[in-house]
A and B are shown apart, each in its own frame.
Chain A
Amino acid sequence: MTNLKIEKTATTPEVDLRPDGILKFSGKSYPEDILGFYDPIFAWLNEYFDGNEQKDTIVDLNISYFNSGSSKMIFDILDIFNNNTDKSNITVNWHYHKEDDSSKEDGEDFQDSFDNLKMNLVPIQ
């Protein structure tokens, strides 16, 4: 199991997924080819939960802008975490700018969708 590291572009976030359980997403997400971007991430996550018995998994999500397609992808990523709570102690941190109510609402919407998942809304100063 290796790292999955994707540099950020104008339309895609920086992705840093490490087998030791530190998973980070930060930036904007409105790629032209959504599945082309997210498929490797899904593949990595599935492999991570298939073989890895990592005790703790910490997910940091800091996505400033995302389109509806990306919103769906984030939902599907969170869904994977939601389905693997038995394999690892998963914590998801949704980072938002403290003045950005809209982003906070997005986080709340995700929170509402996954009852099992430990998800924190973390305001950035």
Chain B
Amino acid sequence: METLRLEIVTPERLALSEDVRSVTLPGVSGMMTILPRHAPLMTLLNPGEVLIRHPDGEEVAYAVGGGVAEVRPDKVVILADAAEREDEIDIARAEAARQRAERLLKEGVPPEQRRELELTLRKAYARLRVARRRRRRPGLQPRTTEEEGEQF
């Protein structure tokens, strides 16, 4: 089966480097699924969910906080501001961030702060959505990868 190399890098770490069947990205112009031999493409990413399909059919989701993806025929590199695998996400913290941002937005803030808050809110939504996806499938064991462990 044809695969493509997927790398997710953040300023703090190499979050993932694996051969995958396909990857779905939260591009600024909409969700897009990249298969091997895609045309060269560079896109900004919204905060959202990166969905990865492995050659064995298993699906894993990452929450990313925005960034840039570079697509080549055999390789996809995601330069993410932050990236967490579905089982790494601290739901309580994401929920707290969501509530705080929602409350501040309701109370009203200056425009430049508003944009930042909305971004925070979207990041929190993305993390919660990805984390809950994992919870809905309790049978799955957490995957382990080489960069497991050190959380920044």
- Same complex: no
Q: Please give the residue numbers on chain B whose beta carbons come within 8 Å of chain A beta carbons, in ascending order.
A: none
Name A's B-contacting residues (CB within 8 A): none
